[in-house]
Structures are given as C-alpha cells and as structure tokens.
Structure 1
Amino acid sequence: MSTENKEIIFKIRNLQTWFPITKGFMKKVVGHVKAVDDVSLDVYKGETLGIVGESGCGKSTFGKTVMMLEKPTGGQVMFNYDGEYKDITQFNKEEMFEFRKKVQMVFQDPYSALNPQKKIYSSFEEPLKTHGINSQEEREKMMQRVLKMVNIQPDYLLRYPHEFSGGQRQRLCIARALEVMPEVLICDEPVSALDVSIQAQVLNLMKEIQQELNLTYLFIAHDLSVVQYMSDRIMVMYLGKIVEVADSRALYEEPFHPYTKALLSAIPVADIHNKKQRQILEGEVPSPIHKPSGCAFRNRCPHCMDICKEQDPALRYHGKEGHMVACHLYDGKESGDSE
C-alpha cells in the first residue's frame, strides 16, 4: 500500500506506557514495567494496520493507550480533527467523551464484553443514551442499521448473550462499536477465540464494513496468517518497541529484522513440498523491567554484533518505499532516519 498522499489520522510520537512496581506499605516505586517504550508511528486514514509480536511485547497495551484506556507515561497521540491535529493525551473529560465517538474498540472475548445479565437490547441502547440519542425510535433505527451490517436479525436484540454462538457474539460486539459511527476501530485479537471457519466469516465481514464506512483498523493479533489477510501495513513489536514496519506484501516477501524472519518462519505451510526452514530463537525474552543495554533483541539474535550490545538501533527507512527497520545490520545501507 502506497502511503503517498494518504491522509494521516493518528500521529503517534515517542509514546510510553510504563507501569510502576511498588514495594512495602508505603508503596515506594522501585521500578517500571516498560510495556510501550518510545513508539513513533503514523496511522493512515482508511488503512488496516496490523500489529504483531509475541505475548508480552506490548501490542495490546499500545492499542489501549491509543484508545486512552491506559494512561500514557509520556509522548503524544495526535488525532486528526478535520485537518487539525489535537493531542488526546491532554484532553479533559468532555473532550475525551467526544473522542470516544471517533475511536472504538473490539475486545478479544465477546462474552465478557457483553453483560450476561442484560438483554442485547439494553447493551446496545445504553451507549446511545450516553451519547445523547434521546429518541427511542432513533435509537432503535440505529441499532437495526448496525445489526443489518453484521447480518443479525433485529429481533435477536431481545435475547441474552448466552443464547448466541461465539461468532454471533463477536459480530454483536462489532455492531455495538459501530453504533456511534466511529472513524477508527481498534481490534484486540478479535477472532482468536473463534473457530477457524467462523474466523473467516468475521474477517470478511470486517473488510466489507471497512469499505462501506471507510473505517481505519488497528488490528492486533497473534495469528500471522490472519494479519496478512487483513492488513495493508504491518507493525512488528518486540519488548515495547517497533522493530519493523512495512507494507503487508513487502514484509512477508522480504522481511529484514531477524525477529520478523523468525516469526514468519513459524507460519504453517499447507504444501508439504514447500516447507520453510524454521528459525528457532534461542534464549529467553528479556524482562520488560530490566531491559538489556543496546538492542533488546541481542541476546536472541543470531547476528549480534558488538554495536548491538551498546547502542539501541533507531527505526530507519530501508529498501522499498515505507519499509522501516530497527536493526544495526542495515545501518548505512540505503537508509534514512525516520521522523
């Protein structure tokens, strides 16, 4: 996907989300879990940005921080308000309330996202009331519109969450997120709890809705095959930092970072005569509390050099348009500094 002349919807600069570690009765802060550590990125309007990495890499925390469900420790998250960029980290309560209409989230577990004691009608009506839709007729019209988008009958509103299958519950969660007509959907593992056949249905549905409403997706997932199918661009995270960003096709055809190569080598291949050489990473994932000096990946990297132990590599452009990598292997090779 070419990013030339594309409108930027999020400008994220030096974003940090650190969780304090306290000790003793006085809760003295003795350290921090650096879940998101100095992330800078542009998100383009109408694209699907896939976010991948091992468990604990910070991708879910990144999504929640962009949504402001987690308060950032530092940095800026600039959102595009009709050409004017406003830092949402500085918003007051009223501004944040309005921002919630523009950015919504779809969570991993659809059952826990719906109140099991309430009918679907109540779960759908409440956010509309909160955002000032006072007419019951108007609320029901909006509910029926989004239910139609996800292929669920309007009379299902009178059922409870346990009366639906997993795929239906996730489609209901997507519909509820769409009620306030957001511009961005942050999807945190939206299909990982579903059967493979149901995953395909939900993913195709999400693509159709995106085209219809010109939505922007931040798509967080473990399954690299799913991310490849959904994403225009992919951001690879390791220990709270971005190690590679590229167009989806370019990343899968020619990954640069050793960590990305190892992740992609783990994707199952159906053709027995076309098996890939699996790259096994040695060593343990470092603690996000006590990160190693230099490159955080160096103790697992087969190409570790002396400079890797001393300097943290910057995210730089390398190769084809828009392909960025944070690795000393590519220092000085057709690269330029990122913003």
Structure 2
Amino acid sequence: MSAEKKEVIFKIENLKTWFPITKGAFKKVVGHVKAVDDVSLDVYKGETLGIVGESGCGKSTLGKTVMMLEKPTDGKVLYNYDGEFKDVTKFNKHETFEFRKKVQMVFQDPYSALNPQKKIYTSFEEPLKVHGIKTQEEREAAMQKVLKMVNIQPDYLMRYPHEFSGGQRQRLCIARALEVMPDVLICDEPVSALDVSIQAQVLNLMKDIQKELNLTYLFIAHDLSVVQYMSDRIVVMYLGKIVEVADSKALYDEPLHPYTKALLSAIPVPDIHNEKKRQVLEGEVPSPIRKPSGCAFHNRCPNCMEICKTVDPAMLHRGKEGHMVACHLYDDKVERES
C-alpha cells in the first residue's frame, strides 16, 4: 500500500525537546541538552514504526514527548481524531487526560513499572477507576480480558510483583497498558531487560495483540535484530535528529546513510564460517549540548566532504518509495559541485 493511501494517525512536525542547563543559586540557563532537535515524521495507523540509534540519540525522549510525558520546547504533535488533527502539545489538563486513553506506553523496566507494595489487582484496578469504570464487575471483566490476551491466569491478580518472573511482569505491564483499549502503544525498549528466549515470546505476543486490536506501535529499541523482526518501517536517529527513514526490508537490504550502514554492520551473524566486515566508527559522539555545525555525524563519517562540516543536510527521497535520507552524498546538486 502506498503512503498516500495509508491513514496517518500521528503527524510530528519540527518537534524539539531541549532540557535547560542551569548554573548558580538563581538557576541561570547557560545552555540546553538538545535531546530531540527538529524531528518531523508521519506515523501510519496499524503499523509498527521502529526507532533505533545509539544510547543518547533521543529515541526514548521522542517517545515520551509524543506521549506528553515530556514537555516539548517547540513543534507540533498532531493526533488524528476521526479525520481531524489536533495538536496535543496545546491540550489542557482534561484534554490530555482523554488523550491518554488513546495512547499508552510500555516502559523498559518491568521491575520498576509495578508498585512492589501493591498487589497486581490494585495496580490494575486504579487506572480503570480513574478512567470512569465505576462498578467492580466491569473492572474485573476488563482485567480478565487483558490478562487473557497476555496468557496470565486471572487468579494471579492477588499476587505481588516480586512473585513473577521478568517475562511475566512485562506481560502484566503490556496488559495494564491495554486496559483502556488504546489505539497506539509506545514501547520503550520493552524486551531489553529480558532473556533472549523470553524476548521471543513477548515479541510474538505483541504481534498477536496488534493484529487482534489493530494497534499502532512506536517500537523503540537498540537491538537491530528485534527491530527488524517487529517493524514495518524504521527511523534511524542520531544526536536528536532523524538521518534515515525506510521500509524495514529496504533499510536492511540497502541502507543509505553511513551511520545506518555502521549500525547494521554491528549485527552479529549466527555462522562462524561467515565473517562479517564491521564498519567501525572512529571519533567521539558529539555532545548534545554543543552540537557541531553542519551534519552532526561529519566528525565520524568515512565519507565526509567539506560541505558536511558547514551545511546541515535536508531529508531527501532516495531509493524505493518512502525511503528518505539526510546526507549530502545523495544530494545531486552537491555531487555536481564536488
């Protein structure tokens, strides 16, 4: 299906999330950590959009900003309300509360996502009370419905979090996020804390739930094999910016950006006789406080040109449909000048 025929559920426009750096007793702002820096992106209904990059690239902050857990510095996050796009960054308290029914988040660490002092029943019941399900019968029916989806016995509700394994806790966190029947799940490294065998179970479960409920996933991860398995499209981030967006197969078969190529070369090959050539990046990751001029990747890029040091590359359509890259190597005008 072409991009024109897909229904957009989120439009992210020029989004910035900067964290102020203060100094002195009067907390004078002396700089900013530019965690998300001018990100524009469409998210299509029913897809899994993978977001990858090194630690500190801003992918988790992007997810939290879309969820409005972090306040954006600038830009828009437009959500599709039955064909009408509304900017959630301008919502008041009541509108944000209603928005949370449509967009939920699954966090990285299942051990800290559940209150250790409360039984699972209490942790599951509170969100339903808050969102207006008044009778105990309705709440218990909703709890049993989502527990069935994640293959957890209903009588486990009376246990405490420490009585569950890591995989069971993460399935409980997924179930709790599904209680209000959201349209979008933002998954922030949902399997990184789990064993590999358990990861596979949780990922397959998430795929089944997505089909059953027609969910949209924003799937944030650093494990490129996991992202390849889960995602329909993939966004590659570097130092707060998007450097490449592509269909999952196209990105892995024909990566364009030098940073993407280096990331993919790091994926281990399960064959001792097939030695993979690594593209090892030299140099240090620049500080998000003092970003270099031009392309932020130029000090580590093996293909760096003079223009890369001064001019920030724009996103260009290259390769197959929907494949976009921010790199001067693919700018025809630059190629003619060089």
Q: How many angstroms does 1:2 deviate by?
A: 4.2
**SS of alignment partner, residue 274 of structure 1:** coil
Q: Name the aligned partner's letter for residue 94 of structure 2.
A: E
Number of equivalences: 333
Normalization by structure 2: what TM-score? 0.98
Q: How many angstroms does 1:40 deviate by?
A: 0.2
Q: How many angstroms does 1:4 deviate by?
A: 3.7
Name the structure 2 match of 1:243: 243
1:271 and 1:195 map into 2 onto residues whose CA distance is: 21
Q: Does 1:289 align with 2:289?
A: yes
Name the structure 1 match of 2:70: 70
1:236 and 1:10 map into 2 onto residues whose CA distance is: 18
Q: Name the aligned partner's letter for residue 270 of structure 1.
A: P
Name the structure 2 match of 1:208: 208
Please give the residue correspondences for 1:136-155 in structure 2 after superposition, counting only pairs within 5 Å: 136-155=136-155
Q: Name the aligned partner's letter for residue 172 of structure 1.
A: L
1:8 and 1:332 map into 2 onto residues whose CA distance is: 30
Name the structure 1 match of 2:336: none
1:317 and 1:289 map into 2 onto residues whose CA distance is: 29
**SS of alignment partner, residue 226 of structure 1:** helix
1:228 and 1:6 map into 2 onto residues whose CA distance is: 21
**SS of alignment partner, residue 111 of structure 2:** helix
Name the structure 2 match of 1:196: 196
Please give the residue correspondences for 1:1-339 in structure 2 after superposition, counting only pairs within 5 Å: 2-332=2-332
2:332 and 2:45 map into 1 onto residues whose CA distance is: 31
Q: How many angstroms does 1:213 deviate by?
A: 0.2
Cα-Cα RMSD: 0.8
Residue ranges of structure 2 left out of the alignment (5+ in a row): 334-338
Q: Name the aligned partner's letter for residue 128 of structure 1.
A: L
Q: How many angstroms does 1:272 deviate by?
A: 2.4
**SS of alignment partner, residue 299 of structure 2:** helix
**SS of alignment partner, residue 320 of structure 1:** coil
Q: Name the aligned partner's letter for residue 283 of structure 2.
A: G
2:21 and 2:42 map into 1 onto residues whose CA distance is: 31
Q: How many angstroms does 1:111 deviate by?
A: 1.2
1:164 and 1:112 map into 2 onto residues whose CA distance is: 13
**SS of alignment partner, residue 105 of structure 2:** strand
1:65 and 1:314 map into 2 onto residues whose CA distance is: 23
Q: Name the aligned partner's letter for residue 290 of structure 1.
A: R
Q: How many angstroms does 1:281 deviate by?
A: 0.1
Q: How many angstroms does 1:247 deviate by?
A: 0.2
Q: How many angstroms does 1:91 deviate by?
A: 0.1
1:6 and 1:332 map into 2 onto residues whose CA distance is: 29
2:149 and 2:21 map into 1 onto residues whose CA distance is: 44
**SS of alignment partner, residue 51 of structure 1:** strand
1:17 and 1:73 map into 2 onto residues whose CA distance is: 5
Deviations 1:197-252 (A, max 9, x none): 00000000000000000000000001000000000000000000000000000000
2:274 and 2:238 map into 1 onto residues whose CA distance is: 28
1:174 and 1:300 map into 2 onto residues whose CA distance is: 38
Deviations 1:80-115 (A, max 9, x none): 000000000000000000000000000000110000
Q: How many angstroms does 1:3 deviate by?
A: 2.7
Q: Name the aligned partner's letter for residue 265 of structure 2.
A: S
Worse-matched range after superposition: 1-10 or 313-322: 1-10
2:26 and 2:49 map into 1 onto residues whose CA distance is: 42
Residue ranges of structure 1 left out of the alignment (5+ in a row): 334-339
Q: Name the aligned partner's letter for residue 6 of structure 2.
A: K
Q: Name the aligned partner's letter for residue 69 of structure 2.
A: L
Name the structure 2 match of 1:337: none
Q: How many angstroms does 1:275 deviate by?
A: 2.6
1:122 and 1:275 map into 2 onto residues whose CA distance is: 52
Q: Name the aligned partner's letter for residue 225 of structure 1.
A: S
Q: Name the aligned partner's letter for residue 216 of structure 2.
A: T
**SS of alignment partner, residue 272 of structure 1:** coil
1:15 and 1:77 map into 2 onto residues whose CA distance is: 7
**SS of alignment partner, residue 228 of structure 2:** helix
**SS of alignment partner, residue 128 of structure 1:** helix
2:228 and 2:274 map into 1 onto residues whose CA distance is: 19
**SS of alignment partner, residue 298 of structure 1:** coil
1:176 and 1:94 map into 2 onto residues whose CA distance is: 21
Deviations 1:263-320 (A, max 9, x none): 0000000122333210000000000000000000000000000000110001111111
